[in-house]
Amino acid sequence: MSASEIIRQVSELAEPIATQLGLELVAVLYQTHTRPATLRVDIRNPAQGTGLTDCEQMSRALEEVLDQTDLIPSAYVLEVSSPGVERTLTTDREFIVFRGFPVMVKTFGPVDGKKQWEGRLLERDGEYVYLTIAGRRVAVPRSQVARVQLMRSERG
């Protein structure tokens, strides 16, 4: 089974577990270049900062389900963690989960005279990354976006 298929199936198993625990599933990564392979599951507690207890509960519950399914036949290490601050956003799912969060958008070259934009993430579509900056909606062309990174939130 391919790594992408394992990620898809683990995501399908992990999503309801996270929901039941009051958490959000942010990302699933399966890294086969390590020995043993590493299955990393990033979660977020939307009600408060993600803590060690959240990671432990998710790890125990997911491990139990994974052991029952035998989805990953070879040895692997399960890591459950918080995505952390200053994380680079890459997937459509991350752009949805972190909507409303403060981000920094860096561009390959100047866009309207700037190479760096800071604001709150609104959304991303096929052509633009949309931010709110000082109450104004700004569209940065995706073709110019080098990186979108979460910033420390004043929320806590």
- Which pLDDT band, with edges at 50, 70 and 90, does 86 fall under? low
Peptide bond into 36 cis (omega under 30): yes
What residue type is 71 in one-letter code? Answer: L
Closest CA to 140 of 128, 156, 151, 127: 128
Segments making up each domain of the chain, as ranges: 3-81, 92-150
Cβ neighbours around 52 below 10 Å, total: 9
| pLDDT surpassing 70 at residue 82 | yes
* Contact criterion met (CB below 8 Å) for 129 and 77: no
Task: For residue range 90-117, list pLDDT tens digits in order.
Answer: 888 788 878 888 889 999 989 989 999 9
- Which pLDDT band, with edges at 50, 70 and 90, does 129 fall under? very high
Cα–Cα distance for residue pair 48/58, rounded to 1 Å: 16
Outline where the chain has alpha helix (H): 3-20, 52-69, 92-97
- For the chain, what is the radius of gyration of the CA atoms? 17
Task: For the sheet with 136-141, list strands across it.
Answer: 136-141, 128-133, 114-124, 102-111, 145-150
Cα–Cα distance for residue pair 33/35, rounded to 1 Å: 7
Q: Which helix (H) or strand (E) holds 108?
A: strand 102-111
Task: For residue range 56-66, list pLDDT tens digits in order.
Answer: 999 999 999 99
CATH value of 92-150 in 2.30.30.100, 3.40.50.300, 3.30.420.40, 3.90.1150.10: 2.30.30.100
Cα–Cα distance for residue pair 145/80, rounded to 1 Å: 29
Q: Look up the CATH architecture of domain 3-81.
A: 2-Layer Sandwich (3.30)
